Amino acid sequence: MTTAEYNKCVDDHSDGVYRFILKNIKDEDKAKDVVQDSFVKMWDKVSEISYEKSRSYLFTTAYHTMIDTIRRDKKSSSFEEISYNAHSDSKEYLGLKEILNEAVSRLPEIQRSVVLLRDYEGYSYEEIGEITNLSESQVKVYIYRARVFLKEYIGCLENVI
């Protein structure tokens, strides 16, 4: 495919691909990202794709990119989405939960992310490194620092209860 054919493909199919992705994930920003990633992937293989097959290739690539995005988003849930154990919902521990939520919210973003992935979601250090694009040793350092901060912030458990 030539550059002119690629540009024509962008003009002809970008709106259709965007609508297709938007209907599936219902998030405009993520849909735009998926479409852009799809066109980048297509550009990387522009010499291997014929113009006649460009629409099919583009929709297939957009679909697979959308699936990857959905899977990645499922793995990285926010702290508010984490469900608590049904046994911990008793009235006497309500204050402890609030203190823990406050402590976690005071962590720097990267420390909060790695601690939640490790302690709440159960990911391994290696998996957290892949998710956050950090080395395994960096993940361990951030988790250690976050735990030290949480320990100092919460203090002795008897003082909290």
- Over the stretch 111-160, which tens digit does the pLDDT of each residue have? 887 888 788 777 789 888 887 788 999 999 999 999 999 888 877 555 55
Q: Which is nearest to 134 in space by CA: 122, 118, 148, 119?
A: 118
Confidence of residue 81 (pLDDT cuts 50, 70, 90): low
Amino acid at residue number 106: R
Q: Quick check: pTM over 0.75? A: no
- Read off the pLDDT of each residue in 54-68 and give the average, rounded to a whole number: 82
Q: In whole angstroms, what is the distance from residue 43 CA to residue 106 CA?
A: 42
Q: In whole angstroms, what is the distance from residue 32 CA to residue 60 CA?
A: 16
Angle at CA of residue 122, ends 116 and 127, nearest 5° = 90
- Read off the pLDDT of each residue in 102-113 and give the average, rounded to a whole number: 83
Q: Which CATH number fits domain 3-75: 3.40.50.720, 1.20.1440.230, 1.10.1740.10, 3.40.630.10?
A: 1.10.1740.10
The boundaries of every CATH 1.10.10.10 domain in the chain are 80-160
Q: Which is nearest to 51 in space by CA: 91, 95, 2?
A: 2
pLDDT at 135: 92
